[in-house]
Structure 1
Amino acid sequence: MALLQKAFQQLSRIPFRGNLSNNRTLFTQTSPTLFKVTDVVSAEPLKKRRRTDPQLVAARDAKRKRRIEKAIKKLMKTGRKLKPVDEIEGDRKLQKEKKERNRELPTLSNEQLDNRAILMKEWNLYKGVQYKKECASINTMLECQAKALSELKLESEELYMAAIQVDYQLLPYEVNGPVRTPPIKGYDPPDGEYTDTTKTYEVEIGDVTTVLKQFIRK
C-alpha cells in the first residue's frame, strides 16, 4: 500500500499539458487518492447528404410550372361553373318545347301606340291628383285631432289620458278554422325515419389559388 501511494505521488508531480476535462484519462488526488473518469459523450456519425443534380431539379420545376400554367389557361377559358339548381333551370321538357309555346305578339300601329301613350299620361295625372287630395285630407284630420286633444287636455287630464289609449276593438278580427287537420287516406306516416333525396355535386375548381395549391402539393 505504501509503494502504491508513493507511485501515485510521483505521477501527480509529473507536469500535465492540456485540459483534463476534455481528455478521457485518469487523474489522482493526494488526499484521499481517488480515480475519476470523464463523462461519456454519446454521438452518431453525420448523415451523408444526397447529391441532387441541379439540371434534374430545374427540369422538375419547369414541368410543374407548365402544368400550373396549363391549368390556369383552362380555368380562364371555361370560367367558373355554378352549381345547377333545379328551381332555376326548370323542366327540361318545357325548355325543349319553348319554341312551340312561344307566342308572337301582334305588331301595333302608330295610332294604337299614340292612344296608349295618351291613356298612360291621363292615368298618371289622375292618380297624382288623387294622391294629393288624400294627403290633404289626412293632414286636415291630423290637425283637427291634435287641436281637439289639446282642448281636452285643458279641460280634464283624465279624459285626455283615456282618449290617447289604443282602441284594440276598433278593427275586430276573429278567425274560426279547423282545430285539427283531417287525415289523408292511404298515408303511412314515417316513424322518425326519412330518405335524404338531396342531390350531391362534385366540387369544381373555382379559384386560381386552389389550382396552384393542388399542383404544388403534387
Structure 2
Amino acid sequence: MDTVRIGIVDDHAIVRDGLAMIMELEEDLEVVGIARNGAEAEMMLTNELPDVVMLDVYLEGNNGIEWLPDFQLTSPQTKFIMLSSYVDAENVIQALANGAKGFLLKDWESDELVRCVRQVAHGQMVLPTSVSETLSDQLAARNRTDGAPHFQETEDTTGLSLQDRRIMDLLLAGYSNQEIADTLFLTLGTVKNYLTAIYRKIGVRNRREAIAYFQRRHKETGS
C-alpha cells in the first residue's frame, strides 16, 4: 500500500500536534510537514509536495479558504481538506468552489478523520452527512428569509456588523431567539446580547420597535 504524505496547516499547536499524532498512528499515513500560517504552508508545499493537506479555515486572522488557489498553483497534485470547528454555509460553498476536496469538523473521532483523509487521497470528494445536513438546513433557512426585508452586505449605515445584520434578517423573517441561535450556531444568551447591542445601536428599546424600524427603513431605501 502506498504511503499517503500529509501536510497539516493550523494556527493552534494543540490541533496541529493532535492531528499529527492521529495520522502517524496509521501505517499508510505519514506527516511530512506542519505549518502555522499561509507563508509556512507555501514553504511546506514547495519543499514536501504532500498528497493531502488538512487546512484550517481560519489562520491567524486570515481565511484559509482564500489561500487555496495559491496553494494549488504551488502544488497542483495536492488535495486539500478544510478543517473547521463548525459548519458555515458560505465557508463550505466557497471552499468547494476554490477546489477543496473535503470539509471536516475538528471534533470528529480520529478514525473518521483518518478514513476521510484516505478517501480524499484516493480521489474521492468528502462531505460528511453531518456537514451536508447542516449546510442544507442553513440554505433552507436562508430561503425562508427571501421574502423578508434584508440588508445589502456592503451597506452599514447603522453601524451594524455582518453578524448583526444576519441576526436581523432572521428576526425580520419571524425567527424566535432560539431559532436564530440554532441557525447561526450561537447560544441563546449570545443572541440576546447581540439583540441588546443592536437595539442600542439603532436607538430602540425592544424587538417590536427594532422590527418596525427596519421595516420602515426597507420601505424608504429598498434595502
Same fold (TM over 0.5): no
RCO higher in structure (CA 8 A, sep ≥6): 1
Q: Max radius of gyration: which structure? A: 1
| Richer in strand (by share) | 2
Q: TM-score, normalised by structure 2?
A: 0.15
TM-score by structure 1 length?
0.15
